[in-house]
Structure 1
């Protein structure tokens, strides 16, 4: 389309030369045009509300805590059977992809602001008793399961309640900063 339009404008402006793909390549480099991948939902965010929250209310709340008492938690999906989309290979040999495996687990990661305390990972899978854990006596993570391997409000609240009652906090009061997600219900706790 770009090549067709460039030829149209060249003819309209009185240029006789036929525009080639090399011109398009140089045009893209000149104006920093390339392949991109859209991510996130920034189009749906009201930036004025975000600025009011971060510069007002959030700042007031966090000013009451030391950096070691401000925690952040977020979930990420780990597609542990999925192969990378791009890789290295031999030129001239054909490589065919199949349907990508979408087997996933969800991992909740949390740490404090100064990095001195990283909470144990909270992993959510589909299997109640995964075969891989058959002879494992103790996992280095907290593991639970549900049908879709997603975080739910009940699981998140249970995780927060356990954190609230742990000796790890030893009477400290902490601020837990999380994103605006339906799985993150607002709860009132004594230490969190």
Structure 2
């Protein structure tokens, strides 16, 4: 029974890992093997606790384990970096000071500094999930808020269908998200522009209509 629980835990962990990796791959986010190993052990630990597996010991997230995982889940095109490149590391180290300079020169206060990013939203998941990743095309969620923490933007949900069957008896305007549709569940420039409307916020908080928005370099942004 312990072996069966361990196997089930491994399968669920690999299923979650495949979804996580594929989402990063679709967004062209570089990733190191060390980061994958850390995520692997974290997912395994969470599922181990949930499944209450006995003293089976920690998972050895070795390079060989990941290579076997790659073959089983068909991650042939995922390029894994041994270490983060020097250019990326230098840019990451320089960014905090650069951001401070921009904020100081622009006279932004924390209420005028915002960050936003999108993520995949997975509503249905089980061990029978197989490669193909159709679930990733279903929905995207855009989140954002101010540096001060006093303003959280209403989440924007982009779904491939405007009126899905599961939402038949619901009014979209009553949902805790802004519901938008796109046939491929993509975030578009128009959707993003409609979502990030700050003029009313600035008027209500007596702020100058000037916002610093920190984003990644996705084309929709």
Q: Equivalents in 2 of 1:39, 1:140: separation in Å?
A: 37
Secondary structure, aligned partner of 1:182: coil
Q: Equivalents in 2 of 1:116, 1:125: separation in Å?
A: 28
Q: How far 1:33 moved relative to its partner?
A: 9.0
- Alpha-carbon RMSD across the aligned residues, in angstroms, is 3.1
Q: Equivalents in 2 of 1:130, 1:175: separation in Å?
A: 36
1:61 aligns with 2:97: no
- Unaligned 5+ segments in structure 1 are 1-31, 86-96, 185-192
Give CA-to-partner distance per residue, 1:156-191, whole Å, 9 cap, x none.
23323xx134x222163221111122221xxxxxxx
Contact 1:105 1:125 in 2 (8 A): yes
Q: Equivalents in 2 of 1:119, 1:82: separation in Å?
A: 27
TM-score (norm 1): 0.59
Q: What's 1:180 paired with? A: 217
Give CA-to-partner distance per residue, 1:78-110, whole Å, 9 cap, x none.
121222x5xxxxxxxxxxx35267423100011
Larger Rg: 1 or 2?
A: 1
Q: What's 2:51 paired with? A: none
Q: How far 1:133 moved relative to its partner?
A: 2.6
Contact 1:123 1:144 in 2 (8 A): yes
Secondary structure, aligned partner of 1:46: helix
Secondary structure, aligned partner of 2:153: coil
Secondary structure, aligned partner of 1:132: helix
Cα 1:48–1:120 shift into 2, 3 Å:
same
More helix by share: 2
Q: What is the number of equivalent residue pairs in this alignment?
A: 137
